[in-house]
């Protein structure tokens, strides 16, 4: 896992997603959420990380930007169709639930991490979940 911290954008996949969001806006966010929500068997870590980043962008569009990295904040300000993100709140909540499930590689990887890091990651997911409600 290419992660350097427990926060939503502190991994390679989420950081890379920012460029996709800059290029495609709400379409990229909806696509990332769909991948997590439609994958009922098993969610690979990269897909989970990107779905969480997309969910954080949805939260930010609703005024809860504390989960964004600086590049993601900049992207949100420059994307023209960011208003469409508010319509994705339900899908974002569902994606966070899917990525938090036992069928998620991301959760498996964090379970293998140091206990304090795993606890911090789970807390971050809980905070994101609350921000989306």
- On whether the CB atoms of residues 49 and 9 are closer than 8 A, the answer is no
**Please, which pLDDT band fits residue 9 given cuts at 50, 70 and 90?**
very high
d(CA 77, CA 118): 31
pTM above 0.85, yes or no: yes
Helix spans in 6-114 (H):
12-24, 26-38, 45-61, 70-78, 89-99, 105-111
List pLDDT tens digits, range 60-119: 998 898 888 888 888 888 887 777 888 999 999 999 999 999 999 999 999 898 888 889
**Please, which pLDDT band fits residue 27 given cuts at 50, 70 and 90?**
very high
Check pLDDT > 60 for residue 55: yes
Check pLDDT > 70 for residue 1: no
Domain boundaries, the chain: 12-132
- On whether the CB atoms of residues 29 and 85 are closer than 8 A, the answer is yes
Consecutive H or E run containing 128: helix 115-132
- Compute the mean pLDDT over every residue in the chain, rounded to the nearest whole number: 91
């Amino acid at each position: 896992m290419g992660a350097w911290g427990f926060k939503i954008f502190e991994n390679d996949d989420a950081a890379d997603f920012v460029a996709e969001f800059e290029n495609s806006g709400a379409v990229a966010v909806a696509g990332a959420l769909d991948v997590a929500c439609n994958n009922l068997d098993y969610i690979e870590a990269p897909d989970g990380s990107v779905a969480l980043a997309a969910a954080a962008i949805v939260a930010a569009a609703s005024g809860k930007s504390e989960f964004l990295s600086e590049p993601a904040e900049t992207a949100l300000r420059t994307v023209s169709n960011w208003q469409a993100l508010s319509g994705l709140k339900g899908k974002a909540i569902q994606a966070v639930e899917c990525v938090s499930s036992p069928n998620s590689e991301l959760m498996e990887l964090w379970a293998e991490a140091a206990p304090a890091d795993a606890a911090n990651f789970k807390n971050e997911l809980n905070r994101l979940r609350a921000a989306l409600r």
